[in-house]
Amino acid sequence: MVETRTITNRAEWLAWRRQDVTASVVGALFGVHPYSTALRLYVEKRGVEFPEQDDNKVMRRGRWLEPAIGKAVSELSPHWELESPGVYLRDPELQLGATPDFYIHGDPRGLGVLQAKSVAPSVFHRDWLNGDEPPLWITLQTLTEMMLSNAAFGIVAVLLVDPHQMDCTMLDIPRNEAAEAKIISAVRTFWTMVEQGREPAPDYGRDADVIKAMAPHEEPGKSVDLSSNNQLPELLETRARLMARIKEAEESCDRIENEIRFLMRDAETATGLNGWRITYKTGDRAGYTVPPKRLRVLRIHDRRPDNGNAP
């Protein structure tokens, strides 16, 4: 049984969303979401808050342009009647929720769901294949909204945010029982992991802030034995090589910049270098005070005897 809750204020709506996996982040359970990961969702549902995610520039742009997308679709498909339902749909057993942007009425297929998106031209070209196919996370979002609203079909309308070539492309998303079953299975598995305290595998490139938030403070005197981790020595060796390369690159840059300083002496600008602009000016740096802050700092010391260091 799917509940339909009327949204009366943003704070209440956000509170509802926090207790569920929502359609907008279902893609994180499949590793295809651009802004979230399975580990981030897990940590959030275990009580760690990331308040900056309640509102950001991407979400604000979506809210501001959503009415414009509805207007564009109404003009492109005048036989449809669009409704902005202002509801939150929730399956309490699955703890799965969705907030449809629009319902579509007047189509022979029955009720439709319209998902409104706005993108820059570069993103449209890269992630939307120039309008041939929506990103997978948006398809999963639309499928979830269709499933919870029992819609017959879905439409993803994407507005190209280009002041010189504003355009709206509509992509049809049919119901897909197999995909819906996978979504349900992934959501069930996720909540089982949350209940049992089993963490999803981290994405070490994208989960940096999540990993820090999971253990913001150390336990005094506690140590962890990593001798059974066969992969870590190789990772540390790789890190050591990379740090050496970084140091060498920084020293090379310093030498080049010092040579330029020597050649320029007291000159303010350098000319005659096609494609390059070089200045050597005195500037003021604003003074500021950094407030005290306690942070955990990871330090790695290379004490391998064969590296010329003390054991």
Could you report the per-residue pLDDT of 2-50, keeping only the tens digit for each?
Answer: 999 999 999 999 999 999 999 999 999 999 999 999 999 999 999 888 7
What's the pLDDT score for residue 296? Answer: 61
Residue 165 has pLDDT above 90, yes or no: no
Strands 102-105 and 81-83: antiparallel
Residue 144 has pLDDT above 50, yes or no: yes
How crowded is the C-beta side of 233, counted as CA atoms within 13 Å? 6
Hey, CA dihedral for 45, 144, 161, 61, is it positive or negative?
Answer: negative
Cβ contacts of 25-29, under 8 Å, gap ≥ 24: 26/96, 26/137, 26/140, 26/141, 26/144, 26/183, 26/186, 26/187, 27/136, 27/137, 27/138, 27/140, 27/141, 28/137, 29/186, 29/187, 29/190
Residue 311 has pLDDT above 50, yes or no: no
In the chain, the amino acid numbered 136 is L
56 band by pLDDT with thresholds 50, 70 and 90: low
Residue 303 has pLDDT above 70, yes or no: yes
> CA 116 to CA 154: how far, in whole Å?
11
116 φ, ψ (degrees, to nearest 5): -100, 125
Q: Which residue has the higher pLDDT, 239 or 298?
A: 239
Report helix angle 136-149 to 177-196, nearest 10: 90
Q: Are 98 and 148 within 8 A, CB to CB? A: yes
**Average pLDDT of the segment spanning 49-73:** 79
Between 2-6, 33-37, 71-75, 279-283, the lowest mean confidence (pLDDT) is in 279-283
Q: Collapse the DSSP code of 229 into the 3-class scheme (helix H, G, I; strand E, B; otherwise coil) and give the result.
A: coil
**Average pLDDT of the segment spanning 95-116:** 98
CATH code for residues 3-213: 3.90.320.10
Tokens found for residue 33: 């979401």
Residue 71 has pLDDT above 50, yes or no: yes
DSSP lists the bridge partners of residue 97 as 22, 90
Tokens found for residue 68: 């414009």
> CA 106 to CA 126: how far, in whole Å?
33
Residue 285 has pLDDT above 80, yes or no: no
Highest mean pLDDT among 62-71, 157-166, 226-235, 299-308: 226-235
204 band by pLDDT with thresholds 50, 70 and 90: very high
Return mean pLDDT, the chain: 92
Residue 52 has pLDDT above 60, yes or no: no
Residue 301 has pLDDT above 90, yes or no: no
Domain range list for the chain = 3-213
Tokens found for residue 225: 């034995």
Cβ atoms within 10 A of the Cβ of 40, count? 25
